[in-house]
Structure 1
């Protein structure tokens, strides 16, 4: 069954998704909505995380969703049911061309390799852009997106929602106020495994009837469709489309220490992992960065990221009060959100999190929705007085109320009522840092030296991975 037959039999064609090969709307062109007091949004990618982005953006009372785009007709059908007045497209390029005068802001929620192509085209057409994390797939793209946003004076935001959450804002304030002195080491970890240690797939499977495989591949190298390897989710594990666990959870978890310490990009990067297979990312990575110092750190800062099953390994910096010794530390899942933040009463690390190590103690920040905790000389220290002085109110433990904040901040900024806290000016640097660690995985156990001014590694062999060749599609 081809895509056209699928659309007819599924009833999606009756919803207006079968008007043309790339433009999928049976409606007449919508009347132009005056942008005064309203923001008209177009959404590129409306399945999975894209569906969540669409829900939270559209929950803003001054948003009108005018366009929906996805390479999967089922995703489009689901989104269209919630936004029946929006025009629908398979190809974002056609959407941006056809509706150039009817869109104020674009939300990009595609796989990583299509973030920059879609965002750059939207910005070229002077549209404000909210782009999911990591901002780009290549370092060169991050710098290009930052430059264009600045030159055009556009409102931009990267999709790191926890940036606007209570506990992360609190941790940033505490660190900047010197609660543990100057920070010399950061440990950050996630046991998730967006890696693939197996062989490259052989053969091909039929492309699902609802999927435009060519448009899904986009700028990536052409290849046969193989079920279970690409759409809808496993692309994160693969070098040509995703950025591994570091590019997924690492952006969220590393955001707060990166922001709190006012870091730039690192001087050196080393990734302890298996040899590169040229297809999938390693399932376990230990990435060590060295950063130049800031007002909140010692002369230099050591930062260690751990990901994959069993991470992090035992380390004296991670031993918590109640633990018998370094090797006895257990990791406790942080899915049970608790107001009292008693996650470490028995020496158990949160499943994911960050440990700041300073000259006057340590600060543990679980991921997510749990209070940071200060540790000095092996004991927890009460920091309620420090917390109370910020007048943040009681800790918020409701994701339904916290989740939309980051999105609404973007819309309010488009309306001139607020400023984004994760614009491309900031998020491009954070993403560059993340991607340098990803690249280091191609050269296991080798220290790479980064020349930020010239955007090049001193190790010439690594520079080929700073950018990629775009396929014409």
Structure 2
């Protein structure tokens, strides 16, 4: 299929005639009515969880459901029988632009930006799953669009609103371990694939529209077990690997607590690229400019894949304790703070021993360890913000920068063991060969 630029994609979607400035009027109408009308794009595993959480808010009306998989669509329709159903999100958004207030995007990563930007062009408030985008250029475009149109936005990083992550942010910003010079974060999950690209093709399941599933990505034959459902995170054309999946969650609190911007340098220790799947093991080292909570510069090391993290004295725990399966360790002037992922309280370590902390002074109440109630807070915050009753804690102004940081590490995986130098103002690498991966051609579909 023909490749087209992002700008041309939106022209072809019939959006060039739309004017600006509608958002305040539409959201004012939603606030006047006291209810939020939502449309949901993507109804797979995470999409159903998003639908459940958003619709659990008493002031939400689910107006439309969209998925390229008829089986997923049927399950969602059974829960919301009054909602209109669609296979193509472009058709849904164009037909219902006057009947919806907010759009929830829960698709594979490569469709996040195309669907979200189209909704934003139509002045819809957007909740988009993490990572915000598949390409750095898309993250910047979504941030710019949200600011230009004054839209309510939220990235789907539910743990951002969890008790233990809020507490860790307050502890770090209180100076409990002094200025932080290093963060080490890890996940042993493996959303990589070191094997060869598949050959041949398999029949497309009758319930799947394979053309629409691929969307703007390059066209390829369907192969059972490689893409849909579930395995797309491993593949460069569709996902962002383990870093883009778990990294967004685990980076979020340190990134937020230390008030970081995007990094200056990135190096990924991994296997040579295959052009198809992400490496199964990555060690990504970032260097960030300093902030008021850090040393002059901050070193950040990410480990993923089987066996992660690599052994290091920074990660040794008192009493020979084992590290949590996933998490982050802050190293500061006065000690270390361990933040497990997730729903475990952070732990202060000074001189090789655990130390008690006064957490009551932060007025967060008693620790909460109920996932169902905690996770809905992030979704309900978005709904309430749309209705003028709250503010989002992970808007695109924040989550686009976090996503950019993650994606720079993903790109570094194409240049193993080579330090890449990032110029944030110019949005370019000093290493020219890396710049081709900041954007992607959109297929006309």
TM-score (norm 1): 0.88
Q: Are 1:259 and 2:231 an aligned pair?
A: no
Distance 2:75 2:427 in 1: 42
1:106 aligns with 2:103: yes
Question: Following TM superposition, by how much is the alpha carbon of 1:394 offset from its aligned partner in structure 2, in angstroms?
Answer: 1.1
Once residues 362 and 263 of structure 2 are traced to their aligned partners in structure 1, the CA distance between those partners, rounded to angstroms, is 31
The alpha carbon displacement at 1:392 in A equals 1.0
Match of 1:165 among 162, 179, 184: 162
Of the candidates 221, 231, 241, which is equivalent to residue 238 of structure 2?
241
Q: In the aligned structure 1, how far is the partner of 2:296 from the partner of 2:153? A: 32
- Aligned pairs (5 A) from 1:56-455: 56-323=53-320, 347-383=321-357, 385=358, 387-455=359-427
Q: Which runs of 5+ in 1 are unaligned?
A: 1-31, 324-346
Match of 1:468 in 2: 440
SS at match of 2:319: coil
Whole-angstrom distance in 2 between the partners of 1:47 and 1:192: 20
3-state SS of the aligned residue for 2:75? helix
- Name the CA distance, whole Å, in 2 between partners of 1:393 and 1:169: 11
In our comparison, the structure showing a higher alpha carbon Rg is: 1
Question: Greater relative contact order: 1 or 2 (C-alpha under 8 angstroms, separation 6 or more)?
Answer: 2
- How much has 1:37 moved relative to structure 2? 0.2
Counterpart Cα distance in 1 of 2:388 and 2:150:
12
- In the other structure, the counterpart of 1:39 is 36
TM-aligned CA deviation for residue 467 of structure 1 = 0.2
Question: Matched residues in 2 for 1:221 and 1:378: separation?
Answer: 52
**CA positional deviation for 1:322:** 1.0
Moved over 6 A (4+): none
Aligned partners of 1:448, 1:223: CA distance in 2, in Å?
30
1:268 and 1:231 mapped to 2: Cα distance? 34
Secondary structure at the residue paired with 1:289?
strand
Aligned length: 417
User: CA deviation digits over 1:392-444, x for unaligned, max 9?
Assistant: 11110111111100000000000000000000000000000000000000000
Distance 1:412 1:428 in 2: 21
3-state secondary structure, aligned to 2:442? coil
Looking at structure 1, the residues matched to 98 and 110 of structure 2 have their Cα atoms a distance apart, in angstroms, of 27
- Structure 1 position 378, deviation (Å): 0.3
Distance between the aligned counterparts of 2:44 and 2:209, measured in 1?
14
Three-state SS of the structure 2 residue aligned to 1:141 is helix
Structure 2 unaligned runs (5+)? 1-25
Distance of 1:157 and 1:281 partners within structure 2: 27
SS in 2 for 1:229: coil
Give the deviation of 1:229 after TM superposition: 0.4
